[in-house]
């Protein structure tokens, strides 16, 4: 049984933030032809300049035009990820709108998506990998996580891939990840269309600081 997807009012928009790297990525759309995005390499000035960039970027829309907020929840840099998630939660709380925390790795996978299974890896601390495996959803909209975001040693990750039971495309998430902010927004919109309305306090970062699988 299929479920009808809900569309936004043309005057309402989704806004996405991506701050898991020294870059700031912003995207806004009403998913009916009015969309824009931008990326700035702010380095150490990310925390001090993000709010000003956001205020300038959102025009001519205003805060009350927003239907939901999306944010890259990590993995990524600790400080940058925290800055973005805190900003998204604050906006969601003040505007009383849903906040969707979206995996950085899923956004990379969506940006590379075709008909194949996509394995995504990102360098983590101590020589480990953030890793996940996704495939396109059966309806062609969004992704399904076959291996949710986790932290693995290189040996464990290689073993996982070597024993994977289907063909896959391996993608390495390196630099310029903020450009996938449009994928963050798209994945959040799919959740919004499906009827999910996540409270701002449910938007949590993923730092990967749990015991490493060996």
Report the CATH superfamily, name and number, of domain 13-104+175-202: ATPase, nucleotide binding domain (3.30.420.40)
Q: What is the pLDDT of residues 38-48, one digit of tens each?
A: 999 998 899 99
Q: Is the pLDDT of residue 3 over 60?
A: no
**Average of per-residue pLDDT values in the chain:** 90
Q: What is the pLDDT of residues 156-206, one digit of tens each?
A: 999 999 999 889 999 999 878 999 999 999 999 999 998 999 999 999 999
Q: What is the pLDDT of residue 21?
A: 92
Q: What is the pLDDT of residue 212?
A: 39
In CATH, the number for domain 106-172 is: 3.30.420.200
Query: What is the DSSP secondary structure assignment for residue 141, as one 8-state letter?
Result: S
CA within 13 Å, CB half, 49: 15
Instruction: List the structure tokens of 98.
Output: 């849903």
Task: Work out whether strand 129-136 and strand 117-123 pair parallel, antiparallel, or are unpaired.
Answer: antiparallel
Cα separation of 19 and 47, whole Å? 9
Which residue ranges does the chain devote to CATH 3.30.420.200? Answer: 106-172
Q: What is the pLDDT of residue 142?
A: 86
Enumerate the H helices of the chain as residue ranges: 46-58, 78-95, 104-111, 154-162, 181-193
Q: What is the pLDDT of residue 139?
A: 77
Cα separation of 103 and 76, whole Å? 10
Which residue ranges does the chain devote to CATH 3.30.420.40? Answer: 13-104+175-202
Handedness of CA 120, 138, 112, 41 (dihedral sign): negative
* pTM exceeds 0.85 for this model: yes
Number of continuous H segments (helices) and E segments (strands) in the chain: 5, 9
Q: What is the pLDDT of residue 113?
A: 66
Q: What is the pLDDT of residue 213?
A: 43
DSSP-derived 3-state class of residue 24:
strand
Q: How confident is the model at residue 211 (pLDDT cuts 50, 70, 90)?
A: very low
Q: What is the pLDDT of residues 91-132, one digit of tens each?
A: 999 999 999 999 999 999 998 867 789 999 999 988 999 999
Cα separation of 66 and 13, whole Å? 5
């Amino acid at each position: 049984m299929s479920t009808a997807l809900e569309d936004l009012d043309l005057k309402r928009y989704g806004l996405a933030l991506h701050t898991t790297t020294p870059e700031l990525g912003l995207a806004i759309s009403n998913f009916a032809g009015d969309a824009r995005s931008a990326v700035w390499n702010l380095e150490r000035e990310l925390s001090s300049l993000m709010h000003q960039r956001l205020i300038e970027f959102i025009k001519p829309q205003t805060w009350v035009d927003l239907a939901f907020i999306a944010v890259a929840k990590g993995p990524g840099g600790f400080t940058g990820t925290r800055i973005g998630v805190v900003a998204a939660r604050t906006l969601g709380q003040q505007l009383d709108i849903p906040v969707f925390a979206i995996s950085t790795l899923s956004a990379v996978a969506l940006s590379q998506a075709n008909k194949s299974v996509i394995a995504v890896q990102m360098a983590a601390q101590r020589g480990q990998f953030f890793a996940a495996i996704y495939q396109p959803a059966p309806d062609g909209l969004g992704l399904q996580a076959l291996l949710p975001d986790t932290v693995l040693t290189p040996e464990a990750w290689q073993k996982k891939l070597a024993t994977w039971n289907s063909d896959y495309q391996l993608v390495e998430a390196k630099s310029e990840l903020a450009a996938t902010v449009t994928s963050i927004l798209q994945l959040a919109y799919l959740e919004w269309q499906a009827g999910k309305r996540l409270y701002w306090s449910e938007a949590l970062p993923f730092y990967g600081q749990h015991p490493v699988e060996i």
